[in-house]
Every structure is written in structure tokens, then in C-alpha cells.
A and B are shown apart, each in its own frame.
Chain A
Amino acid sequence: MKSFFRMTYPYILWIGIFIVAPMLMILLYAVTRSGNSTLTFQFTLDNFAKFFSDPDFMKVLWTSLRIAFITTVFCILIGYPAALFIANLSERTQTLMVLLLTLPMWINMLLKTYAWRGILMNFDMESEVKVFIGMVYDFLPYMIIQIHTAIAKLDRELLTASYDLGANKWQSFLKVTLPLSVPGIISGITLVFLPAVSSFVIPKLLGGGNYVLIGNLIEKYFLVAGDWNFGSAISLIMALIIIGSMWLTKKIDRNAEEE
């Protein structure tokens, strides 16, 4: 056991250097003032005050959350029936369908988005609709695969029992299949909502440059304005939101399991 534990040292080192240390640096930048070249740290909460006191920053945050939320809802609405359909096929066809689903994920996301831009350019529609088409397209496979896994491992005998007890197909779905596939939906949400909140490339490319999202802001303050302190503060706020939503989904998941 002890030697087994020793095998995790490289991993701990890896996490320390590449995950913990950068996070701590972001934290340090976020709570200090710029002009640290002389290495005198002036601690301040100004960066956070700046963010939360300005309605325009809040608007950007709200837009990011809204886009991510709507994307997730559409992914569930389209993904669930698709997953249900796939789960009811023969085993061999299921493998093939899942393979077909994962196939587009082998292609670089930028490439796919540029392709969508070419296609959607010919249609006259709200740029917001274009953004959602691109976002849902990109994130849908994650949702389908998660839900499909949950439904596929469901014990078929439960449905037979449900029919035996007089429930029709719809009732059986509502009382058996749906509750038991909630963990799949939850992990689907985790895989879709979280990356969608911080995604900015798709809205940028498909939205005709009419969206400022939280990801764009972070990029701006680091690379253009050169204000690393404020950029770090936004990143930290972002990280806290993500941790918060992960905690929330975990909690819902646990509650669902207990029921």
C-alpha cells in the first residue's frame, strides 16, 4: 500500500506545479494592485469592487451565464430523445451510433465553427440563433453520450415490472426511465454548462462580433490592457462560479440518488 502511495508522487508534483501554483498566482494577482515590479505587494479588493460595482461587467457575466444555460437546456431537449432512441437499438447498432456521435469530436472545434460560419452566412437570421446552433452542435455529443450511458445500464426488468403493474409506456418512462437517468443528465450538464460558460470562440465567430463574454474580457485585460490584476480577479470570479455550480449539481445528484 505504501509503495502504491509513492506512485502518486509524480502526479501530486504535476498538480502542484501546473494547477495549484498557477491558481495561487491568479489569487495573488487578483488581490493586489498593479505595479508590483519592486515586489511590494499592496493588497486590495479594488479589483472585485470594480467588477461588481459596474452594471456593464454584470451584464457581460449575465450574458455568459444566459448563453450557457440556454445551450444546456437545448442540449437536454435534443439530447434526451436522441439518447433514448439510441439506447433502444440493438447492441451492435448502438456501438455504431455512439461511434458516429463521437466522430465529429475528432475534428478541431475551430474548424467546425468556421464551417458553420460558412453555412450560416447564407441565412438571414438573428445572430443569437446562429450562436445557439453552433454551441448546441458543439456540446450535444457530450450530453447524448452521458444520458445514453445512464439509460443503457438501466435494468430492463424494471420496465417489464412496470408494464406488469399496469403502467402504460408513458407512465413507465416518467416513473422508471426518467428518474433513473437523472445522474446521466447531471453529468451531461457538468460537461456542457461549465465549458459553455467560459466559451467565447463560438459566440465570437458566429455572433458576428456582437457578443462580449466573460472569456473575451479576461483575454482583453491580460493581452491588450496589460492589467493582469483585474484579469486575474475576473478569472477568479469565474472559477468560483464554476466551483459553485459543480457543488450545486453534485448536491442535486446526491438528492436524486437518495430519493
Chain B
Amino acid sequence: MKKILSVLLILALAAGLLLTSALGEETEDFGGVTLNVFNWGEYIDSDMSVIRNFEKKYNCRVNYKTYESNEILYTQIIAGDSWDILVPSDYMIERLIREKKLQPIDKSIVTNLDLLADGVKNLDFDPDNTYMVPYLWQTVGIVYDTTKIDPEKVEEKGWRIFQDPEYAGHTYMYDSERDAFMIAFKSLGYSANTENEDEIMAAYEWLLEMNSAVHPSYVTDEVIDAMAEGYKWLALVYSGDAAYILSENEDMAYCTPKEGTNVAVDAMVIPANATNPRLANLFIKYILDYDASLEISEDVGYASANAEVLAELSGPGGTYEGNAAYVPRGGYELDEFYHDNEVLRTRLSDLWFKVMSAN
């Protein structure tokens, strides 16, 4: 009797094991190997449970480090550091692909690319996701105080609202030549990637006029808290940060001007010299899946690359329900990615400090 019972028990256990492995996700034991992940600062859920769960799932250790700019990341890659996962922005990925610093995504492992939201599908710098899988994305837009500025006026004037002397002393401009010149180019009807000297000079004049009209404070990330506190009326802000500002201060609204804007995508890539490509591919699949994507996007406030998560968070009962800044405008014809262009970069830097010091 005892024997039969134990046989039954063993059978039950075996069945259970079989069942879970059939129903549950496939998993693999990597025996404590280390995966080196290099991501933007403050770009993952604050308690890092997403990373901890991945470590548990594949029995590995994730060495998670952060950087502050694409250029710093690039310097590290050039210095020969070995990483398994990087999360650069579109134009930097374009450059890394061109310089053959990335290896292709293994699509037999990353089988969930159909989860991608429409706005981050078929991106022109890597249309079929040969090298990258989007992580989070955003646009550049205007955050303004609805108690001081009429929303209709913002919609109508678009980027030219930054040239309205009425807001002198009440405006923040982001200290980034690429973004500042982008709004000037777009306002004048040019491409954000133009190399035409006449168009660049016209944009420069546009910015000088902005500077003398509104005397903006040139800021970087401090704009986030400052607008959440309502120190000024008008600011150039990334949509992901705007989502946070809007959720902190209900007087603030967000506008993506109809003249077009920059769309920025940060995507996961695997460097050519990665030591654990297989685990890196599994990591990409894991991050793109619903659970991790939800956790990250909800905490960070930037738009998820996962369509379902995007709908869930902005839909009824979602964390960002009614938050105009959370879901970036996707597929709009006048919106553009930045392209990497060394000549343009130096040219804009040369002109931008002149705008800033023209006071």
C-alpha cells in the first residue's frame, strides 16, 4: 500500500513537472553567468524587480550600469568595453550599425517582435529589427500652464509660441542644440536633419529672435521639477518627462505642435563583442514581454514599445489615463528621427552657444 502510494506520488510530481514546463515559460539554467547591461540612468523600475526576476528565471547575474548620454556610451564602446546589452538612441544606433559595432538580433530567440507598438515598427534606420528592439520612445513637445496660456493659442502658434514676448521671463528652453534647432527647422518648414547652410542660418535667426523675445532660462533636467512646481508657464520638454509633470501638476498641459517634431526611440542592441549573446537575446525578449514592459513604462513614465502596455497604461483605469503626454504621436508624416551627422553636430554647437550668450 505504501509502495503504491509513493509510486502515485512520484507520478503526480512528474506529471506536475511536465505540466508546468508545458504551460509555463521555457527556462534555462545559465549557472550564474554574468550579463552586462548598460542603460540610461533612471530608465528602469526603481526597485529593479524586473532585473531580479530575470536573474531568478535564468539563474544568472545581471551587472546593471547606467550612463547619461549617447556620446558617453559611444566613448565607452570605442574604449573597447564589453557589454551584452546597450540601449542607445536611434541616431547612435544608426552610427553603430554603420561602424559595424553591433551583432544581429537572433530572431529564433526574440520571437515576440509582433508585440511592438505601431509607432516603433519599421523604423527607417533599421526597418526589420535586424539589430535593435525598441525599449522606450518619446517625442519633443511643449508643456504649458493652462491657467496662464490658452490651449487654443498653443495649438495655433505651435513652436512659434516660443517667440511670443508675452512669455518673456516665463519660459524654459532645453539646453540642447539638436532639439532647439529642431523646433526652429520645423517651425520654418524644414527637415530637422537639413544640412543646407541657408536653412541652418534661417533657423539660427529664428532662435536669436526666440532668445530676445522670451529670454528663456536654458536648463536641462531641472526643467522637470521646475515645471511640476509651476515656476514658469512654458517649457520645451520630452514627452516622457512631460507625462511625469502632468501627473504631478494638473494645471499643466502638453502639446505636440502640428509643424512636426522629433521622435526619439531608445532601443536594445547587442554589441559585436558581447560575451553572452544568447542570454542577451533572451533578455531582449523578456523585456519586450508584457510583464517587464508594464513595470518599466509605468515607473519611468516614458512610452512603452509594447503595444498592449501602451494601451493598458493610457486606457481606462491605467496609471496614465487622460495624460496627454504619455502616448507619443506616432506615424505623423512631419515627425522625424535625428540622423547622425558629425558636420551638422559641430555646426549647431558653434551656433547654439551664440544664441545662449546673446543676452
Contacts and interface: CB of A to CB of B under 8 A. Distances in A.
B106 to A, nearest CB: 30
Given A209-B175, A212-B357, A225 B69 contact: no
Give the size range of A's interface with the partner: 20 to 34
B217 A224 contact: no
Contacts of A226: 71, 342, 345-346
Contacts of A56: 353-354, 357
Interface string B329-359: 0000000000000100110111011101101
A209 B172 CA distance: 9
A82 interface: no
Contact of B217 (A60, A208, A212): A208
A221 B357 CA distance: 15
Nearest to B69: A223
A60 B353 CA distance: 9
A66 interface: no
Contacts of A209: 172-173, 175, 216-219, 356
A217 B350 CA distance: 10
Contacts of A211: 357
Contacts of B349: 220-221, 224-225, 227
B42 to A, nearest CB: 18
B72 A224 contact: no
B177 interface: yes
A220 B69 CA distance: 12
Contacts of B348: 225
Nearest to B348: A225
A210 B217 contact: yes
A225 B359 contact: no
Interface string A55-74: 01001100100000000000
Contact of A212 (B72, B173, B353): B353
A60 B72 contact: no
Nearest to A222: B71
Task: Report the contact-size class of chain B (Cβ under 8 Å from the partner).
Answer: 20 to 34
B80 to A, nearest CB: 14
Contact of A217 (B175, B217, B353): B353
A59 B349 CA distance: 16
Interface string B259-293: 00000000000000000000000000000000000
Contacts of B176: 224
B262 to A, nearest CB: 16
A210 B69 contact: no
A209 B177 CA distance: 14
Contacts of A225: 345-346, 348-350
Interface in A205-220: 208-212, 216-217, 220
Contacts of B173: 209
B175 to A, nearest CB: 6
Nearest to A211: B357
A154 B96 CA distance: 65
Nearest to B353: A212
Nearest to A55: B354
Contacts of B218: 209-210
A210 B216 CA distance: 8
A223 B359 contact: no
Contacts of A227: 345-346, 349
Nearest to A114: B222
B350 to A, nearest CB: 8
Interface string A222-251: 011111001000000000000000000000
A204 B176 CA distance: 14
B353 A223 contact: no
Nearest to A228: B75
Contact of B71 (A63, A208, A223): A223
Contacts of A60: 353, 357
B353 A224 contact: no
A88 B214 CA distance: 52
Interface in B235-270: none
A224 B354 contact: no
A208 B350 CA distance: 21
Interface of A: 56, 59-60, 63, 121, 208-212, 216-217, 220-221, 223-227, 230
Interface of B: 69, 71-72, 172-173, 175-177, 215-219, 231, 342, 345-346, 348-350, 352-354, 356-357, 359
Given A121-B231, A212-B357, A220-B349, 13 more contacts: A56-B357, A60-B353, A208-B217, A209-B175, A209-B217, A210-B359, A211-B357, A212-B356, A217-B353, A220-B352, A224-B71, A224-B349, A226-B71
13 contacts: A56-B357, A63-B357, A208-B217, A209-B173, A210-B356, A210-B359, A212-B356, A220-B352, A224-B69, A224-B71, A226-B342, A226-B346, A227-B346
